[in-house]
């Protein structure tokens, strides 16, 4: 099996929901929510791609970096690369249902583990979404991260307890799901949280807590002040609010405020190892990948997920060699080209 075969098979499996475009840039699927697209005009999805494309790398080949280190550590877990699977749910109404929710998230968790990384698991209106992620996490203890929607406080606390009992590595909330159309359609109460409400749910768990959906420096600081161990700079793949900037644009200012105070993840439009290196240079500690891994899972199961992550790892290695980066834990902003 190769990625060409995986993409061909995924095109059949995802028919009517994802075209498996040669360039996944949100143009063909604009407005398709539920589905794989960006909300409204799709501009927020496109902005993620455009923001990364605007970042250029300085090529350097006169240096002593021969074997770059791509390993990183998250809460005692060593990963072979700073590239994780993003929390994704909705196999039935976003992806067509050719894979069950349980089969999909199992492929994500086990495929990421096979590649030497790990997967976040998500939450949604159908209980099987969160439950499938928890089941996969329990079967692979310490190798997944459970992410919960911004539900009512007591529901979040209950889900956090379930995640603890399953033995996941960490847990968190995708607060950017506060206005998610698909949740509203299913009658699930989600919404924004105050700093006090965040502190309350973070204090309710022993697990490291991640707040996903940060797009401004002040909210990054608020997350850290509330006790978050990590944040994810993310506009939810452009699926919740039209007309937001790309995540790569806002990352540097956020990093200036909270780098070293919390782990900084980022997602949005990541398609290659070079994209990963760009984001590390702009201030991220690790990067999440979403839509391409849906294609990998539907086209090749766990092996497809592992294959795509390893491909990105190899691309990251090449990019590090050609920019003189010795270690993913210390990527200089100087590798980014400026006029």
Catalytic center residues: 236
Give the number of residues written for the chain.
339
* Beta strand extents in the chain (DSSP E only): 72-74, 77-79, 83-85, 119-121, 144-148, 170-174, 209-214, 230-233, 263-266, 286-289
What is the C-alpha to C-alpha distance for residues 244 and 137, in angstroms, rounded to an integer? 32
Cβ atoms within 10 Å, residue 21: 14
Terminal-to-terminal C-alpha distance of the chain: 43
Cβ atoms within 10 Å, residue 316: 25
DSSP string, 16-44: TT----SS-SSSTTTT-TTTTS-STTSHH
- CB-side exposure of 288: number of CA atoms within 13 Å? 31
- What φ, ψ does residue 45 adopt, rounded to 5°? -60, -50
What is the C-alpha to C-alpha distance for residues 270 and 290, in angstroms, rounded to an integer? 8
Q: What's 252-303 look like in SS3?
A: HHHHHHHECCEEEEECCCCCCHHHHHHHHHCCCCEEEECHHHHHHHHHHHHH
């Amino acid at each position: 099996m190769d990625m060409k075969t995986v993409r061909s098979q995924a095109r059949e499996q995802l028919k009517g929901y994802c075209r498996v475009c040669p360039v996944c840039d949100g143009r063909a699927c604009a407005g398709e929510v539920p589905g794989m697209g960006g909300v409204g005009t799709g501009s927020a999805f496109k902005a993620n791609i455009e923001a990364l494309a605007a970042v250029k790398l300085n090529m350097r080949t006169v240096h002593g970096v021969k074997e770059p280190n791509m390993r990183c550590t998250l809460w005692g877990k060593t990963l072979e690369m700073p590239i994780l699977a993003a929390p994704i749910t909705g196999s039935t109404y976003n992806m067509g249902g050719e894979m069950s929710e349980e089969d999909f998230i199992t492929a994500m968790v086990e495929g990421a583990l096979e590649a030497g990384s790990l997967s976040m698991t998500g939450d949604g209106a159908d209980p099987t979404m969160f439950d499938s992620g928890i089941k996969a996490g329990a079967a692979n203890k310490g190798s997944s991260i459970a992410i919960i929607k911004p539900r009512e406080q007591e529901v979040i606390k209950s889900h956090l307890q379930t995640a603890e009992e399953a033995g996941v590595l960490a847990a968190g909330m995708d607060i950017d799901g506060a206005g998610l159309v698909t949740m509203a359609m299913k009658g699930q109460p989600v919404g924004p949280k105050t700093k006090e409400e965040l502190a309350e749910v973070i204090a309710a768990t022993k697990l490291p807590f991640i707040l996903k959906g940060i797009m401004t420096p002040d909210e990054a600081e608020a997350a850290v002040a509330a006790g978050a161990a990590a944040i994810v700079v993310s506009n939810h793949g452009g699926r919740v609010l039209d007309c937001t900037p790309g995540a790569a644009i806002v990352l540097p200012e956020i990093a200036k405020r909270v780098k070293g105070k919390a782990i900084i993840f980022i997602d949005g439009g990541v398609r290659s190892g070079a994209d990963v290196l760009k984001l590390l240079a702009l201030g991220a500690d690790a990067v999440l990948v979403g839509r391409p891994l849906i294609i990998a899972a539907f086209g090749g199961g766990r092996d497809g997920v592992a294959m795509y992550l390893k491909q990105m790892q190899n691309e990251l290695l090449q990019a590090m060699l050609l920019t003189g980066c010795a270690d993913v834990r210390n990527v200089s902003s100087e590798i980014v080209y400026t006029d």
